[in-house]
A and B are shown apart, each in its own frame.
Chain A
Amino acid sequence: MEASDDVGRCKSRVGNIMKKLRNSKLEIKAFKVRVADKEILKGLNLEIKPGEVHALMGPNGSGKSSLAFALAGHPNYRVTGGKIFLGKTDLTGLKPEEKAKAGLFLAFQYPVGLGGVSLFNFLKTAVRSQGEKAGASDLLLKLKSLSAKVGLKEDFLGRDLNFDFSGGEKKRAEVLQALVLKPKFAIFDEIDSGLDVDALRLIARQISFLAQEGTGVLVITHYQRILTHLVPNFVHVLVEGRLIKSGGPELAKQLEKSGYKNL
């Protein structure tokens, strides 16, 4: 029951967005993850409210991407303890597609290419699999306008998914996907790598808009730069599979200056 009472007066598209996004807090409780025989996450707790932006930082190999993959249900990341909730839905142990349908989205650090399938056809399949009955022409119109917002030319919609895209184009396409799928909760894993300054600003702004519409956001990054455009409510530091420190935006600045060693 995610639709709150005030939604009733508005049956428009906005109403639908609100319905989809309201009251979906992400809760990660005592989350433990193993890859092969190695424990990567060692009991992680995190709560991200709808519309909040959290940044996750930490040295290489601390488990940031593992957290992203494990949340999204990658089969190689075995959850050995803890729970994940999105709103009232228990996501723990669900298949990746079930998590997506529940409203979870992961923007990949390295988006995967698919020859012979256009970005448009892929998104059409994705949107439909998530239960939206968009007609192809309506969807195309919508995607054209969203492409402009992330700085992708329209012809990308007709090109093979992430196939001959540059690094930056792949990242823009990931954000485009988030915009059209309107998730309740979105993880952006190093969305800032490979983007130039202008692209970074544009992408950060779109992610902010997504948050303003109620999507909870977790941004995984090594750099403070993206956070000047996408101001986080909280910054967390992950070291060796544990959150060792949390703070406000100033924590990111401090880390950029003095690194993780002095924490």
Chain B
Amino acid sequence: MTKIALPSQTGYKWGFSDDFAYTFKTGKGLSSQVVKEISHRKNEPLWMRDFRLRALEIFKSKSLPKWGADLSGINFDEIYYYARPADQQYSRWDQVPQQIRRTYEKIGIPQAEREFLAGVKAQYDSEVIYGSLRRDLEKKGILFLGMDEALAKHPDIVKQYFGTLIPSMDNKFAALNSAVWSGGSFVYVPADVHVDLPLQAYFRINAKQVGQFERTLIIAEEGSYVHYVEGCTAPIYAADSLHAAVVEIIVKKGARVRYTTIQNWSKNVYNLVTKRAWVGEEGIMEWVDGNLGSKLTMKYPSVYLMGKGARGEVLSLAYADTGQHQDAGGKAIHGAPYTSSQIISKSISQGGGRTSYRGLLEINPGAFDSRAFVRCDALILDPKSQSDTYPTMKINEKRVNVGHEATVSKIGEEQLFYLRSRGLSEQEAKSLIINGFIEPIVKELPLEYAVELNRLIELEMTGAVG
């Protein structure tokens, strides 16, 4: 396969691809035949097959959203919707086909697993090919499975929650995902169980023009805690790929879930993801959403605060360089009294890149004594780049406390000069300013990811400015 290094991707380390014999791949394009084929290959129960087929009809009936970014470049007929790299999931790295294993080793997953993770899922194109969970956690009743595996082993729980927060009707890409979904994680944490180290899922697109449509469902029973981390990379191809995931999270009474994403797709991936969390009484949901890669991202993780005293937080970080548009943000919907939400968005654009903050704050009648705070800061590094904000507020309850702040700044000449007068090169000065700008989000990441994120951004900067 030819790899084409785009000029703006000189810093991208994960642009390589594996030449690989897939055990199965559907033909290009989308049809009910393709959907049936996927369901058949997976030996799914009938209800899931019907769910898929209904979703396909919804997908076909919905037009592309017009309110957001430019999606006209997606050619749905040119995409492969399902590519299976191996017929099974492995539980030991040495069993994983060598080429795939090497890729994950380059990315550093096995090492991270040894050092600071409680469990790992590695998805390669359409299927989860590796999975592990620490023994003691398994014994406590925690389930960390591939979504397909969960459907096979625990069909009842899956059926109870699957598609409840994000029905196929929600939007065109949720419908698409519902029709052709494959892989993703299923996490179930029993009541009062705390998972001390993060669970990590790693998503890799390898084949050209393959779409990845994983489906993740996390259920945190009362009083439990889990931190789930996902990372994603892909090779650099001249043709575009599509990633359309659906993530549903149920946070029950007094539980807490943190979901961290470091999205670093190559710059030929359309990344259109729907993420939603339902939060019960006194529950806490935290989204930490870092978007560095992709050609176009549209993603607004949301919290539905439905129980008294529920809390939700979205920390969104977006970085857009040449040829990139990050349309990101967060949504908080208050549906119960004494709830609180916070959305903090930080975006950086340079080299002609564009960042958009898009957010929704909705406080419904009866959600009295609730508090909400939205802050979006944009940093624009050069005159070619742009940033815009689309905040929406629907406040339908009087006894609430709502705050909103927004800033747009450019790297100031005076700031640069001050730093340079202390011996920092222009490059070092810019990096320092950017690191400072994103610090409120970086400090929320596990140390290993914080270091990685800073390094990534420095790398991007070097590629662009150096």
Interface residues in chain A, defined as those with a beta carbon under 8 Å from any beta carbon in chain B: 72-76, 95-97, 99-101, 105-106, 108, 111-112, 114-117, 121-122, 125-126, 129-130, 160, 177, 181
Beyond the given pairs A101-B423, A112-B414, A115-B437, 8 more chain A to chain B contacts, judged by CB atoms under 8 angstroms and listed by A's residue number, are A72-B417, A73-B421, A97-B424, A108-B418, A116-B437, A129-B422, A130-B423, A177-B422
Q: Are A100 and B432 in contact (CB under 8 A)?
A: no
Contacts of B414 on A, CB cut-off 8 Å?
112
B422 contact from A76, A100, A121, Cβ within 8 A: A100
In the assembled complex, 19 residue pairs joining A and B whose CB atoms fall closer than 8 Å, in A order, are: A74-B417, A75-B417, A76-B413, A97-B423, A97-B425, A97-B426, A99-B421, A100-B421, A100-B423, A101-B423, A114-B418, A114-B419, A114-B432, A116-B438, A117-B432, A122-B432, A126-B423, A129-B422, A177-B422
B36: interface (CB < 8 Å): no
B65: interface (CB < 8 Å): no
B28: interface (CB < 8 Å): no
Contacts of A115 on B, CB cut-off 8 Å?
436-437, 439
Interface centre among A73, A95, A114 (most CB of B within 10 A): A114
Interface residues of B in 419-459 (CB under 8 A from A): 419-426, 428, 432-433, 435-440
Contacts of A116 on B, CB cut-off 8 Å?
435-440
What is the bound-complex CA distance between A36 and B417, given in angstroms? 17
What is the bound-complex CA distance between A114 and B432, given in angstroms? 9
Main secondary structure of the interface of B (DSSP, over half): helix
B365: interface (CB < 8 Å): no
Given A75-B413, A114-B415: A100 and B420 interface contact (C-beta under 8 Å):
yes
CB distance from B444 to the nearest CB of A (A): 13
B412: interface (CB < 8 Å): yes
Given A74-B417, A96-B417: A114 and B422 interface contact (C-beta under 8 Å):
no
Q: Are B412 and A129 in contact (CB under 8 A)?
A: no
B424 contact from A74, A111, A129, Cβ within 8 A: A129
CB distance from B458 to the nearest CB of A (A): 12
Q: Are B425 and A129 in contact (CB under 8 A)?
A: yes
The size bracket of the interface on B is 20 to 34
Given A112-B412, A112-B415, A129-B428: A96 and B420 interface contact (C-beta under 8 Å):
yes
Q: Are B417 and A117 in contact (CB under 8 A)?
A: no
What is the bound-complex CA distance between A105 and B413, given in angstroms? 18
A126 contact from B413, B422, B435, B437, Cβ within 8 A: B422
Given A112-B415, A114-B433, A125-B428: A95 and B420 interface contact (C-beta under 8 Å):
yes
CB distance from A184 to the nearest CB of B (A): 13
CB distance from B68 to the nearest CB of A (A): 29
Contacts of A117 on B, CB cut-off 8 Å?
432-433, 435-436, 439
Contacts of B412 on A, CB cut-off 8 Å?
112
Closest partner residue, chain B, to A69 (CB atom): B417
Contacts of A126 on B, CB cut-off 8 Å?
419, 422-424
Closest partner residue, chain B, to A96 (CB atom): B420
What is the bound-complex CA distance between A130 and B438, given in angstroms? 25
What is the bound-complex CA distance between A73 and B413, given in angstroms? 12
What is the bound-complex CA distance between A84 and B107, given in angstroms? 50
Q: Are B435 and A111 in contact (CB under 8 A)?
A: no
What is the bound-complex CA distance between A101 and B421, given in angstroms? 9
Closest partner residue, chain A, to B429 (CB atom): A97
The 7 A-B residue pairs whose C-beta atoms are closest, nearest first, are A116-B436, A116-B439, A117-B436, A100-B423, A96-B420, A112-B418, A126-B422
CB distance from B454 to the nearest CB of A (A): 11
Contacts of A112 on B, CB cut-off 8 Å?
412, 414-415, 417-418
Contacts of B440 on A, CB cut-off 8 Å?
116
Contacts of A74 on B, CB cut-off 8 Å?
417
Contacts of B423 on A, CB cut-off 8 Å?
97, 100-101, 126, 129-130, 181
What is the bound-complex CA distance between A114 and B439, given in angstroms? 11
Closest partner residue, chain B, to A112 (CB atom): B418
Contacts of A100 on B, CB cut-off 8 Å?
420-423
What is the bound-complex CA distance between A177 and B424, given in angstroms? 14
Closest partner residue, chain A, to B420 (CB atom): A96
A114 contact from B425, B426, B428, B436, Cβ within 8 A: B436
What is the bound-complex CA distance between A101 and B425, given in angstroms? 10
Contacts of A129 on B, CB cut-off 8 Å?
422-425, 428
What is the bound-complex CA distance between A99 and B439, given in angstroms? 29
Contacts of B413 on A, CB cut-off 8 Å?
75-76
What is the bound-complex CA distance between A97 and B418, given in angstroms? 10
Interface centre among A73, A125, A181 (most CB of B within 10 A): A125
Interface centre among B418, B432, B439 (most CB of A within 10 A): B418
Closest partner residue, chain A, to B427 (CB atom): A97
What is the bound-complex CA distance between A97 and B423, given in angstroms? 4
What is the bound-complex CA distance between A93 and B60, given in angstroms? 64
CB distance from A84 to the nearest CB of B (A): 15
Interface centre among B414, B422, B437, B440 (most CB of A within 10 A): B422
Contacts of B419 on A, CB cut-off 8 Å?
114, 122, 126
What is the bound-complex CA distance between A102 and B435, given in angstroms? 27
Closest partner residue, chain A, to B409 (CB atom): A115
